[in-house]
Amino acid sequence: MKKLAALATILLLVAACSTTRLLYSFADDFIESEAEFYLKLDEEGESFVETKVDDFIGWHRTAMLPRYAGYLGAQADLIERGGLNRAGVDAAVDKFRELMEGTVRGFTPHAAMVLARHTGTAKIAHFSERLAERAEEHRENLDQPAAERAEERAERTQDNFERFIGDLTDGQLTIIRRHVAATMNDTARRLRRRQRNSKRLVAFLAKQPDERQIRIFLDAMFLDPDAGAPQTERQFREARFRRFRIFMADMLTSLTAEQRETLVRNLRDYAEDFNAIAS
């Protein structure tokens, strides 16, 4: 199954507070669609996947959304008190990473129950073919001229920030473009890591592991995706995370008073929406 990044985008980076409940309600459809793409499912298999997805969404709604809501509310309070400095941003990014790891640990038991039913030769072959197909789609994206990819990424990043803080200043646009330029080669390395881990997962499933073994494997793969890779790859991942923290600190410490007010209001609106969905 696809990593949690796409799910996190649906759950956390929605376009407007008024649409949060609607988009959250579509999260199960998104995950089921991904499962149907990767897995060879008959009618019974589709029903089982639907049940496991419903179980995960239910768990996420009751166990994680209140934690996300508390996190967003705490960040809003901190910003309002004038705590938007580099140390505060670093702590906020680290806390969000912790929350995402909690989401992963809640997801993998359900994914393991599904994958435990897909260790047969034909199903593994189908899974492997689909992984290769998706990898090829990503490779084709890399064939796009670098300047075009950089422009599209900068525009997406700008849009994401403007959803939370409003129009950006020229200085903030410069920060975004500088970060995009510095990380343009990251995509190719991340694709190589995904291909490496896809092969690891396929080879592991071919050993016909049980549900518990699959869950342990998935936890390790998602939370430590560079396990078994050269030390340079682990160093790259940590360096990339440090660059991201610096980028977020550069952006958030550059906010105008009006932008800070907009951010505080939006964070509290999201927190309220998350609590409403969780209840």
Residue 89 has phi, psi (to 5 degrees) of -65, -45
Tokens 């050269």 map to which residue? 230
Instruction: Give me the pLDDT at residue 212, please.
Output: 96
Instruction: Give me the pLDDT at residue 18, please.
Output: 40
Instruction: Give me the pLDDT at residue 265, please.
Output: 94
Instruction: Give me the pLDDT at residue 25, please.
Output: 58
Domain residue ranges in the chain: 4-278
Instruction: Give me the pLDDT at residue 9, please.
Output: 36
Instruction: Give me the pLDDT at residue 140, please.
Output: 81
Instruction: Please write the tens of the pLDDT for every residue from 251-273.
Output: 999 999 999 999 999 999 989 98
Q: Output the average pLDDT for the chain.
A: 85
Q: Provide the token pair at 133.
A: 């197909």
Closest CA to 12 of 276, 273, 279: 273
Instruction: Give me the pLDDT at residue 26, please.
Output: 60
pTM above 0.85, yes or no: no
Long-range residue pairs from 232-236, CB within 8 A, at least 24 positions apart, any chain = 233/189, 233/193, 236/189
Q: Provide the token pair at 98.
A: 């912790």
Instruction: Please write the tens of the pLDDT for every residue from 2-36.
Output: 433 333 333 333 333 344 554 555 677 778 888 88
- B/e letters for 133-155, b = 16+ CB within 10 Å, e = fewer, are ebeeeeeeeeeeeeeebbeebbe
- In this prediction, the residues of the chain whose per-residue pLDDT falls under 70 are 1-26, 228
Helices (H) and strands (E) in the chain, counts: 13, 0
